[in-house]
Amino acid sequence: MSGVRPEWWRFAAVLALCAGLFAVRDAAHAISIELKDVAPDRIERQRAHEAGQLALPDTPDVSRLEARLEEAGVKSGSPILMRVFKASSELELWIEKDRRFVLFATYPICHWSGTLGPKLQEGDKQTPEGFYTITQRQTRHLGRWRSAINLGFPNAFDRAQNRNGSFILMHGGCSSVGCFAMTDPVMREIHDLTRAAIERGQRHVPVHVFPFRMTERALAEHAGHAWHPFWTTLKAGYDSFERTRRPPRISVCKRDYYIEDAGTETALAAPPQSRRDRSRNRNRFRNDAGGPGSIRVACPKPVVAEADVKANDHIKTGEAKPADAQLATQ
């Protein structure tokens, strides 16, 4: 069609695939080819969803959102962080309280496709693993899903690894190829809390996607897996949050993740004071990759020993280096 940009056709096709619109009539077969070797209960969740048996077991009562927020002592609009665990099909939503994050809700993921391990390329039917961030533009209405969130794959690390793909979403329903299907009521709650945090000033909402809960025991059980070295890197981010209950500082350095514990900064940026200020703030930071929760593309500064500093000072002033400095710089 004239006047229609080709990328929109591709966008629509990917959204349709995520929604399961291209599934064959034999639903059981369509499900089985997506599952491979882990989380076989995904089949039962899809069947329950198709039978109208909602909500799924262990789903928080989304009709009581305001009451649950009050019971937890947190507020809508406070900074949030999400963690996904593929093997157990769970999504955790944490909310900041007194500069630390507390677990607010654990939602069952109705369906995700593929197996443990990262997404490598378009069309491999894999859900990604790694550290992602959500900004305002990623919460906009996407195709048929009014409450979808674009995960932001590929991130800087994925691109450094030559991984490719697009429009990996968290969305409603219970059928997906490459996305995380959460059911409509759950996705509305997640979307509303995400939008509220962003409108209040959180510029980057972290989403950490793990193959499983990254305990020492779980990682040891997968010691022979092809992705074990990659998972060891992810564990550093998991451990940092477990230790501090704050989003870790994450950088991509020389094609690898570099993790540091968070500082004392809040995840919330200074809130704009008016609609005009909000618009000005969005335009100013539209392409800004900095700020709490973001993924930086930078290597950490090297640690310089005190002797090296003294030696450099002597070089700059033309003085002879002391013996200990000479040894330290050899």
Residue 298 is predicted with a pLDDT of 86
Catalytic residue list contains 171: yes
Residue 141 is predicted with a pLDDT of 73
Same-domain pairing of 330 and 189: no
Same-domain pairing of 100 and 231: yes
**Whole-angstrom Cα distance, residue 252 to residue 160?**
9
Same-domain pairing of 218 and 313: no
**Angle between helical axes of 41-50 and 27-35 (0-180°, round to 10):** 150
Identify whether 200 is part of a domain.
Answer: yes
Residue 327 is predicted with a pLDDT of 31
Residue 288 is predicted with a pLDDT of 38
Same-domain pairing of 191 and 324: no
Please, which residues bridge with residue 259 across strands? Answer: 250
Identify whether 279 is part of a domain.
Answer: yes
Residue 267 is predicted with a pLDDT of 56
Residue 2 is predicted with a pLDDT of 42
In a 3-state reduction of DSSP, which class is residue 207? strand
Identify whether 227 is part of a domain.
Answer: yes
Same-domain pairing of 154 and 194: yes
Same-domain pairing of 210 and 310: no
Residue 90 is predicted with a pLDDT of 97
Which residue of the set 49, 111, 171, 208 is catalytic? 171
Query: What is the CATH number for 56?
Result: 2.40.440.10
**Whole-angstrom Cα distance, residue 238 to residue 213?**
8
Tokens of 226: 């092809």
Which residue of the set 179, 191, 204, 208 is catalytic? 179
Identify whether 12 is part of a domain.
Answer: yes
Residue 291 is predicted with a pLDDT of 66
Tokens of 321: 């280096």
Residue 28 is predicted with a pLDDT of 39
Identify whether 1 is part of a domain.
Answer: no
Tell which phi-psi region holds residue 224, choosing left (phi > 0), alpha (psi between -120 and 50) or beta: alpha
Catalytic residue list contains 179: yes
Question: Residue 188: which domain range?
Answer: 6-297
Same-domain pairing of 265 and 123: yes
Residue 314 is predicted with a pLDDT of 45
Count of domains for the chain: 2
Q: Profile the chain (330 residues) by mean pLDDT over runs of 10 residues.
A: 46 48 38 60 84 85 98 98 97 97 97 95 95 94 83 96 94 92 96 97 97 97 97 97 96 94 65 51 43 82 54 45 33
Residue 220 backbone phi and psi in degrees, to 5: -65, -35
- Other Cβ atoms closer than 10 A to 189: 21
Q: Are 62 and 193 in contact (CB under 8 A)?
A: no
Residue 11 is predicted with a pLDDT of 46
Same-domain pairing of 44 and 102: yes
Same-domain pairing of 312 and 281: no
Same-domain pairing of 287 and 312: no
Identify whether 262 is part of a domain.
Answer: yes
